[in-house]
Chain A
Amino acid sequence: MKRGAWLPALVLVLAGAGATLLAGANPLNAAVELLRGALGGPQPLAETLVQTASLLFPALAVAFALRAGFFNIGADGQAVAGGLAAGLAGAAWPGAGTAALLAALAAGTLAGGAWGALAGALRGRFGGSEVIATLMLNVLAGLLASYLLGGPLRAPGATGPETAALPESAWLPVLLPDSRLTLALPLALALAVALQFVLTRTVYGFELRAAGKAPEVARRAGVDLGSLAFGTLTLSGAIAGLGGATIVTGILHRFDPALSPGYGFIGIAVALVGGLEPLGVVLAAFAFAILQSGSLTMQAFAHVPKDVVALLEGLAILTLASRRALVARAPAR
């Protein structure tokens, strides 16, 4: 580990303790309750792993695009596009069995990819800002879903913008009985490994990293920055779209426009804390999931408002942003 790498973590722990004290509770007690709520037993652990998977898809999507130098802040919109496609495809052929599940996941991946590709085309072809494009497409995805499900694609008897319920054959298999833990987690982990491989071992990954670090150097080395932007934002969107599809097929069992409550934005934090390395992002997603899923127990038993967790998540980004300054001031060994 690099000299002083522990400092941001220390700052974070101290800040968390301070916030807990300000809230009038015992920090040690709060930490114990937080961990108990997240890890104390099979069911809490399963719920933490569910959160891990839900965070991991958008976080990997953000990290992958950011390695190429593109800021995809539209993972939520891509998840909605993917979730909608998955909900429609999964319910389209009630008798299709497992094929319906595969169709739902594939449709989600493609739709998310298409949503990312819109931003990619704007950036790659016309040099527009992908930050603005992906942000605006978030709003568009929600509105498009509401329109389609309220009008042309309205499910019989639906009260809100939902698709029809998926047949059970189109559900993601549950790994632990009586929990929501599904195949989504192994899928996300396999994806992380695959992305790590793409980044470190393929020509595409090599060119992508070069463009992310030094676009002018990459351009002169024969990398077409326009197609790279298009391809990378498409792939990033596809990852987020697959994430949306796993939430629809694994948790909600129908499409609901609120399927991604800010995962795309927390995903940015997870990606940065994970150092943009897919395997680091896995660890970061697990850490964030612990905070998320333990916060209710902490609130109930240690009387610490769960907003302290949101505070910690924000602080994680702040300490990360100031990491270089912190490390530079760390005492030499």
Chain B
Amino acid sequence: MEFALEVRDLVKTYAGGVRALDGVGLGVRRGEIHALCGENGAGKTTLAAIAAGRLRASGGSVERAGTAGFVPQHRQLVERMRAWENVVLGREPRRGARLDAAAARERVRALSAAYGLPVDPDARIETLDAGAQQRVEILRELAREPALLILDEPTAALAPAESAALFATLRALAARGVASLIVTHDLNDVAAHAERITVLRAGRVVARFEGGTDVRAIARAMVGGAVPALADRVPRATAPCFEIRGLVAGDGAGAVRGLDLDVRAGEIVGVAGVEGNGQRALADAVAGVLRYRGTQRLDGAELAPGDPAARIAAGIRTIPRDRQREGLVLDWSLSENLALGDQRRAPLRRGLGLDRRAARERARAVVERFDVRAPSLDARASALSGGNQQKLLAGRALAETPRLLLACEPTRGIDVGAAALLRSRLIEARNAGVAVLAISLDLDELFEIADRIVVLFRGAAAGEFARDAFERGALGAALAGLDAR
């Protein structure tokens, strides 16, 4: 068989009548890197899950040349176990009734060396960064010797250097005849690395491209027209708003070590950096969930460390970095989720009671303004696609005009159209006088929205660039910790 995977006329209808796939055909050749692109809700993840054998199709056929490995978007690892334990879980080498730990470690070490995926077999998953966790997950799948590796949004949580390493691995696999099917929003990755590209929209294949195709042509096919332009930046006077002095927070490699930072009302300050240079500690310290030394002032008043409620009351709102773990109660309805954080203030609070009608009105307004695509306000947050969940969180943070908006990876893992909408809303908030602190691994995003970019390196500011001085070379040097001046 020429194909590692061949699907024909695939149909998937979910309970409730939502048709996620509507007659999709797709062939992944042996040893090729194939990209599957599309907006949120286009059916990509459904197709990937069916191809991997994790979900049953309602109609059509799926043929695989061998087994298929699947690396889902959200890690599926046992956090408290070690890397080698996760890799062999379910297929443990035995000696009699006992687990042969030495053999298992050796197998993991051999796999790791063979595929160029550096992993410490004895590290606990919870201590590893996103890139290393993903490598563990890929090793686990490779241990089954698949003919095809399916990766859902593999670069969403990775720093640029880690993405490059991932694609090097995929190319090495391809050379050995192992095909990859990558589900992704990142069109630059697609154009640079994929040999063929299939674009889905609304459950159908709308275009097929060869590698090297112009990114804009792929984007047009995805959104079914031109990519929406961003909101205009209105020139405006800024005023002092939020200041950080001598911030020390967190521990280990990702700590913040003496950071000074100002965010003025009416500007977007982007924080760039390679993952693990203190972004998480900075975000948590500003959100009030991490203790710190140093000072933070909002409009001149010093904020107490470690009191999220006081910060919300002072007008700080957050788009958290991890929408499922930090942002949403997945079991709850849209309207309950949108009340979270403002439950102690009018109009949602009335005496001791929570005004459910006010909560619904607010939800209706947010859903409309942020184009959240959901069956109803009573739908569960878990039923929404990643992009719509992200719109929900941004909408919640901007439901009223905050003083300071902390936006962590505001468009990670979501499609071009939704990302453009959210970036426009951030710019509009800036135009309205909000101080916006945007922490993002995506440099292109910061180039689009930021008035200033501060580069974070080993927990301190390693360079600052005004909008008219954005330049990849100098920024890249600062990101790598080289002196930019």
Contact = CB atoms under 8 A, between A and B. Distances in A.
> Are A and B subunits of one complex?
yes
B343 A203 contact: yes
Given A202-B352, A203-B352, A222 B312 contact: yes
A217 B308 contact: no
B379 to A, nearest CB: 16
A217 B329 contact: yes
A269 to B, nearest CB: 23
B288 to A, nearest CB: 8
Contacts of A216: 325-326
B356 A222 contact: no
Contacts of B327: 217, 220
B461 to A, nearest CB: 25
A204 interface: yes
B320 interface: yes
A222 B344 contact: yes
Contacts of A201: 353-354, 356
Contact of B341 (A204, A222, A224): A222
Interface stretch (A70-78, A106-114, A205-213): A205-213
A203 B349 CA distance: 7
Contacts of B341: 220-222
Given A213-B331, A214-B329, A220 B287 contact: yes
Contact of B339 (A204, A206, A218, A223): A206
A206 B287 contact: no
Interface in B326-354: 326-332, 336, 339-341, 343-344, 349, 352-354
Interface in A156-174: none
B356 A224 contact: no
* Interface bracket on A: 10 to 19
A219 B289 CA distance: 8
Given A203-B344, A222-B308, A222-B309, A217 B328 contact: yes
A213 B327 CA distance: 12
Contacts of A202: 352-354
Given A202-B352, A203-B343, A203-B352, A214 B309 contact: no
B329 A213 contact: yes
Residue with the highest number of chain A CB atoms closer than 10 Å, among B336, B340, B352:
B340
Contacts of B45: none
Contacts of B320: 220
A219 B312 CA distance: 11
A198 B341 CA distance: 18
Given A221-B308, A224-B309, A206 B354 contact: yes
B112 interface: no
A324 to B, nearest CB: 13
B431 interface: no
B134 interface: no
B343 A206 contact: yes
B329 A210 contact: yes
B356 A213 contact: no
Contacts of A214: 325, 328-330
Interface in B273-298: 287, 289
A304 B326 CA distance: 53
Interface string A109-140: 00000000000000000000000000000000
B326 A217 contact: yes
B332 A213 contact: yes
A219 B320 CA distance: 12
Interface string B43-67: 0000000000000000000000000
Interface in A168-193: none
Nearest to B308: A222
B184 interface: no
B318 interface: yes
Contact of B289 (A203, A204, A210, A220): A220
A330 to B, nearest CB: 12
A213 to B, nearest CB: 5
Interface in A203-250: 203-207, 210, 213-214, 216-224
Nearest to B348: A203
A203 B354 contact: yes
Contacts of B356: 201
A221 B343 CA distance: 9
A217 B311 CA distance: 15
Interface of A: 201-207, 210, 213-214, 216-224
Interface of B: 287, 289, 308-309, 311-313, 318, 320, 325-332, 336, 339-341, 343-344, 349, 352-354, 356
9 contacts: A203-B354, A213-B329, A214-B330, A217-B326, A217-B329, A219-B308, A220-B327, A220-B341, A222-B313
A-B pairs with the 9 shortest C-beta distances?
A222-B309, A221-B341, A221-B340, A222-B312, A214-B329, A213-B329, A222-B308, A206-B354, A203-B354
Given A203-B349, A220-B327, 18 more contacts: A201-B353, A202-B352, A202-B353, A203-B354, A207-B343, A210-B332, A213-B329, A213-B330, A217-B327, A217-B340, A218-B329, A218-B340, A220-B326, A221-B308, A221-B312, A221-B343, A222-B341, A222-B344
